Amino acid sequence: MANAPGTPISRRALLLGAGGFGGAALLTLTGCSYFSSDEPPAPTVVLTPAALDPINGLIATTRLHLLRLDAAIAADQADAARLTPLRDDRQAQLTALEAEFARSNPGSTAAASASAAPTTGPVTLPDTPEEIISAVRGDAATAQVQFTDATSSATRYRAAIYGSIAASLASHRAVLA
């Protein structure tokens, strides 16, 4: 029963309220609730700050596209002269990204570098030269979007690098059109 304004709180009501609050606080402090009993299992994989670095995704994409460019140059000799400079650009970009990762995470290895250095399967590409060029252009467009997105939220130093790479990828699309 609620007390009317100005009415003194009875001793019994005060003790009941204090007891309820104390019980709830005790449950909270011990991590228990009315609906659970056990602690959640500890994670088996713990992410380190280096693995959380968002540059890893950009390195992985660049490395994958570099492999696809290598395969395209091997499969499409007629367009090799046009594709080779683009491959050189992507290699230079990969080198710069890995250098930036190393600068920011001294002593760590980029996740993409560790997992993707030796490839175990062939890179699949379309059959015709036109389709191969289209696939390479599609890769450039995909990477351009990825680097553009990364530019918006990175540090100033990285944003300048990402923006420059995104612009380079825009020019790749243009020369392949």
Residues engaged in binding another protein (CB under 8 A): 85-86, 88-90, 92-93, 96, 137, 141, 144, 148, 151-153, 156-157, 159-161, 163-168, 170-175, 177
Among residues 110, 84, 80, 108, the alpha carbon closest in space to that of 95 is found at 110
At its nearest, how many Å lie between another protein and the CB of residue 142? 11
Shortest distance (Å) from residue 81 CB to another protein: 9
Q: Residue 26: enclosing H or E segment and its boundaries?
A: helix 11-29
Q: Cβ(104)–Cβ(53) under 8 Å?
A: yes
Closest CB 56 distance from another protein, rounded Å? 20
Q: Which is nearer to another protein, 50 or 168 (CB)?
A: 168
Minimum CB distance to another protein, residue 173 (Å) = 6
CA distance 161 to 103: 14
CB-nearer residue toward another protein: 23 or 85: 85
Chain Cα centroid distance, residue 90: 19
